A and B are shown apart, each in its own frame.
Chain A
Amino acid sequence: MALQDVCKWQSPDTQGPSPHLPRAGGWAVPRGCDPQTFLQIHGPRLAHGTTTLAFRFRHGVIAAADTRSSCGSYVACPASCKVIPVHQHLLGTTSGTSADCATWYRVLQRELRLRELREGQLPSVASAAKLLSAMMSRYRGLDLCVATALCGWDRSGPMLFYVYSDGTRLQGDIFSVGSGSPYAYGVLDRGYRYDMSTQEAYALARCAVAHATHRDAYSGGSVDLFHVRESGWEHVSRSDACVLYMELQKLLEPEPEEDASHAHPEPATAHRAAEDRELSVGPGEMTPGDSRMPAGTETV
């Protein structure tokens, strides 16, 4: 053992509880050159651009995302899955660089599984978020791009955390991440209530992503919907984004019988009517639980 000391050899950390953060594979960073500039000049255009959202409500946490993986203006994959399960009661929506997200989620899965074996119970969602943000903040400044919402159900009920690769970690009720997030936020902020029913929540999530895919070039494909309940996560549906959007629009069209009496005046006053309709669309028309959203002018 004296030789061990002389050679300064250290056995790998294989045992028990440790306050130290995991070394995450100990990936070496190239010395001597600044990785960020290097990547900017020589690196591939990494996949960005997406719409993901997650929100917390009485019956759990909903996670929804589009499925388009874009690489600049090239659609790398029209049917990717951007919601990654971590364990039975934890999902993560991913945005940013697909490769970074996938890798860091695997590292997080490993960490949580090890802790589960050691402690006899899974760490809470807060712990998972803390671990992920701490692991990633070590690589700050090295062009990691992971913007993710961790959705889970733990001892304190449904929980939602937003984690960004610079180390940001926020707890909240609604998060939307990605290039399509402004459009999704608009819809979510209008329709969100903590006391929604499950069906209302599904409708809200689908609607928000569908609207984002309609306007954001980097979002599209299909809409994935996941629900984390007390009993675990569940993949609710995957629906084509365009079809979903059309269906939502159809819901807004007035019934044929109602329209018969108004049929003639309508075309003549089409433009004015459209403007009026736009203006009159306001809080009054939006009733909670209604999957219909304020329409644009497309029906004219």
Chain B
Amino acid sequence: MASRYDRAITVFSPDGHLFQVEYAQEAVKKGSTAVGIRGTNIVVLGVEKKSVAKLQDERTVRKICALDDHVCMAFAGLTADARVVINRARVECQSHKLTVEDPVTVEYITRFIATLKQKYTQSNGRRPFGISALIVGFDDDGVPRLYQTDPSGTYHAWKANAIGRSAKTVREFLEKNYTEDAIASDNEAIKLAIKALLEVVQSGGKNIELAIIRRNQPLKMFSAKEVELYVTEIEKEKEEAEKKKSKKSV
């Protein structure tokens, strides 16, 4: 039955599905994991770096992009689709500043991206964008924000979320471990993001890319070394926690 309703995007199935949109969501699930965390004074984005071919220049594969000085996003899904969306979002950020003099709020640019995605679910001859995005940043009033959009064009605000491959596992980890203590300091929030990714990423810190925005500061991408430092710290903490446990059980 499904095959009769997934040809054209503009057709609903009898039970109310838009199959193209759902297939787009499947495409997102094939992309590498991205996690976003909203701390008290910091927002963190972490992505799983896909292993590159030997001859490929690693720097050209970027999954975390700045949309403006105070907003950035990470995506999961089709890289080419993401490039188009990011470009439109960047233009919108500047147009907003031109017309209205104020920088965009995180919610505004999220809504713009979501509206863009929705348009493509309701146009003929076009397919939806095959990406989900995590958009983070600080507004003028200093409040940190994290939003997630999906191919259908809906968006929601989150305290912490994950998208892409193994998003479910990461989200469950976050639900268990996102506490007021966990985000109490900037370092703790960063460690939480890395810990969440380590749950699903093979071969540890080498395959993690991290970026943060602190209030009133531009996006900071972490170098591999800095990520390694955090990973070693996390592993040390784990060992100590295990030692304590084994002591208790004795």
Contact = CB atoms under 8 A, between A and B. Distances in A.
B115 A124 contact: no
Contact of A130 (B101, B112, B140): B101
A19 B105 contact: no
B50 interface: no
Contacts of B95: 19-20
A119 B95 CA distance: 16
7 contacts: A17-B112, A19-B99, A21-B99, A119-B108, A130-B99, A130-B101, A131-B100
Contact of B108 (A17, A21, A131): A17
Contacts, number: 46
- Nearest first, the 4 A-B pairs at minimum CB distance are A19-B95, A1-B124, A127-B100, A130-B101
A155 B140 CA distance: 10
Given A17-B115, A124-B101, A2 B91 contact: no
A144 interface: no
Majority SS at the chain A contact face: loop
Given A1-B124, A2-B124, 17 more contacts: A1-B125, A16-B111, A17-B112, A17-B115, A19-B91, A19-B98, A120-B107, A123-B102, A124-B101, A124-B102, A127-B100, A127-B102, A130-B99, A130-B100, A130-B101, A131-B99, A131-B100
Contacts of A129: 101
Contacts of B111: 16-17
Majority SS at the chain B contact face: helix
A81 interface: no
Interface in A1-23: 1-2, 15-17, 19-21
Contacts of A17: 92, 96, 108, 111-112, 115
A136 to B, nearest CB: 14
Given A1-B124, A2-B124, A19-B91, A134 B108 contact: no
Contact of B101 (A1, A2, A127, A155): A127
Contact of A134 (B99, B107, B112, B125): B99
Contacts of B105: 119
A242 interface: no
A5 B101 CA distance: 35
Contacts of A120: 107
B71 to A, nearest CB: 14
Interface of B: 10, 91-92, 95-96, 98-102, 105, 107-108, 111-112, 115, 123-125, 140-141
Contacts of A134: 99
B7 to A, nearest CB: 14
A17 B99 CA distance: 12
A299 to B, nearest CB: 50
Interface of A: 1-2, 15-17, 19-21, 115, 119-120, 123-124, 126-127, 129-131, 134, 155
Contacts of B102: 123-124, 126-127
Contacts of B107: 120
A124 B107 CA distance: 17
Contacts of A16: 111-112, 115
A207 B125 CA distance: 68
A130 B95 CA distance: 12
Most buried by B among A16, A19, A123: A19
A2 B125 CA distance: 9
Contacts of A127: 100-102
A132 B99 CA distance: 10
Given A2-B124, A155-B140, A123 B100 contact: yes
Contacts of A124: 101-102
B115 to A, nearest CB: 5
A130 B101 CA distance: 7
A22 to B, nearest CB: 9
A124 B112 CA distance: 20
A155 B101 CA distance: 14
Contacts of A21: 99
Nearest to B125: A1
